[in-house]
Structure 1
Amino acid sequence: MRMLLADQGQSWKEEVVSLDAWGQGTLKTSCLFGQLPKFQDGDLTLYQSNLPDSWLYGKGQQEAALVDMVDDGLEDLIRHFGQQFLRNNEEGKAQYLKELPGHLKPFETLLAQKKGGQSFIVGDQISFADYQLLDLLLNHERLFPGSLNDFPLLSAYVACLRARPKLKAFLDSPEHVNRPISARLKI
């Protein structure tokens, strides 16, 4: 969401909730589904991780369906990633790294159907799935240097998106650079 807002030239105010504050329960009971994030824009309040991202869905129903497909594939990989890291052992991490090429291949295949990684994952305009895929790939590059070496289209895609001026400024900012990948997973 932060990448999307920054790249689209939107400003925002972020309120970070500590685990202690969350544990007190007051905020949790005020959230519609009892979980964060919460996004508020004027009178509009949205809850859940992906809802605010849905602003950029592509053109038409076909592109929206493809964006959903990519998003679902990313959610599966993120869930798998979290499960392996929650095991918090080297064996789980090694197994994940061994399986990673199989998980990245579908995204490389989608890019092969486009402009060789010099385009977006779906359609001719950026979608929220692009920001989610970029976030996942950047995190993998941090955690597993070289994990994209066998994926030239994904590597080109990352370079292409990172070069977007507003997105580059955000990605290079201390607010992003110093943010943990996951406070929950302590990485």
Structure 2
Amino acid sequence: MAAKPKLHYPNGRGRMESIRWLLAAAGVEFDECFLETKDHLTKLKKDGFLLFQQVPMVEIDGMKMVQTRAILNYIAAKYNLYGKDLKERALIDMYVEGLLDLNELIMHHCIQPADKKEQHLATIEDKATNRYFPVFEKVLKDHGQDFLVGNQFSRADVQLLETILMAEECKPDILAQFPLLQVTEWTVLMSFKARISNIPTIKKFLQPGSQRKPPLKEEDLPKIMKIFH
């Protein structure tokens, strides 16, 4: 039996969280080796395990993979979450790259200075509702299918659900103007969020006790920063 993938990162979301989501969506069990101190990170560097001196790092199929997008691409291709041809893969890449931009913006909200948080939240809301979520609402409306690409579950669906849930943590009603994305009393059976959340592997990952990480608390930020600086 092949060894489980092993994820090397602090015990928090960061850039590893999308990797956790994608492995979970594929039904792949994985182990985690949490970085607790700067010395732990330094040892990985000295041992030559980090090609560009950075984590995330994932041990998978005999490789020590770094660079988040490369890792995500590999997992998606390995587990048939990357479309059936080059055109579908290109669409998935476009959607995912846009979502990663929004994901990154949301991820950085917790590290904003107190006097900048309100403006940063306003920026998240503006870009989510005017640039990013309208794209996916239109895609679902135009093709009338359950999934974003090829009417087949793909990494784009996983990334969109992850980003939706993160955005709702910042502003619970952020999907109010997107009926095909949100869950409401009237759209629960057809909303994207409901459909993807009820895929068995995703549903399992959303349950308490899974390896999904909670939002970073401000009081935990200094500990994380000490690992990297």
Q: Select 2:210's aligned residue among 171, 175, 182.
A: 175
Q: Identity across aligned pairs (percent)? A: 31
Distance 1:69 1:130 in 2: 12
Quickly say closer, same or farther: Cα 1:138–1:18, change in 2 above 3 A.
same
Quickly say closer, same or farther: Cα 1:144–1:19, change in 2 above 3 A.
farther
Judge which range, 59-68 or 149-158, deviates more: 149-158
Aligned to 1:61: 86
Aligned to 1:76: 101
Query: What is the DSSP-based 3-state SS (H/G/I as helix, E as strand, rest coil) of the residue aligned with 2:59?
Result: strand
Judge which range, 143-152 or 10-19, deviates more: 10-19
Q: How many pairs were matched up? A: 182
1:120-171 Cα deviation digits (max 9, x unpaired): 1111222222211111111112221111121111121111000112210111
- Name stretches of at least 5 consecutive residues in structure 1 with no aligned partner: none
Contact 1:85 1:92 in 2 (8 A): no
Query: What is the DSSP-based 3-state SS (H/G/I as helix, E as strand, rest coil) of the residue aligned with 1:25?
Result: helix
Query: What is the DSSP-based 3-state SS (H/G/I as helix, E as strand, rest coil) of the residue aligned with 2:34?
Result: coil
1:81-124 Cα deviation digits (max 9, x unpaired): 34555433222213332343112111211222232xx6111112
1:161 matched to 2:196:
yes
Give the Å deviation of 1:11: 1.2
TM value normalised by structure 2: 0.69
**Residue identity in the other structure for 1:127:** S
Contact 1:85 1:93 in 2 (8 A): no
Quickly say closer, same or farther: Cα 1:45–1:183, change in 2 above 3 A.
farther
1:38 matched to 2:57:
yes
Distance 2:55 2:180 in 1: 34
Distance 1:107 1:25 in 2: 41
Give the Å deviation of 1:60: 0.4
Give the Å deviation of 1:42: 3.3
**Residue identity in the other structure for 2:58:** F
Distance 1:148 1:27 in 2: 41
Quickly say closer, same or farther: Cα 1:94–1:46, change in 2 above 3 A.
same
1:134 matched to 2:161:
yes
1:114 matched to 2:139:
no
Quickly say closer, same or farther: Cα 1:145–1:181, change in 2 above 3 A.
same
Report which of the two structures shows the higher radius of gyration computed on alpha carbons: 2
Distance 1:154 1:19 in 2: 40
TM value normalised by structure 1: 0.83
Give the Å deviation of 1:28: 3.5
Distance 1:108 1:176 in 2: 29
Root-mean-square deviation (CA), in Å? 2.5
- Name stretches of at least 5 consecutive residues in structure 2 with no aligned partner: 1-18, 183-190, 222-229
Distance 2:104 2:61 in 1: 32
Give the Å deviation of 1:21: 4.0
Quickly say closer, same or farther: Cα 1:6–1:80, change in 2 above 3 A.
closer
Contact 1:40 1:46 in 2 (8 A): yes
Which structure shows the bigger proportion of residues in helix conformation? Answer: 1
Distance 1:82 1:142 in 2: 11
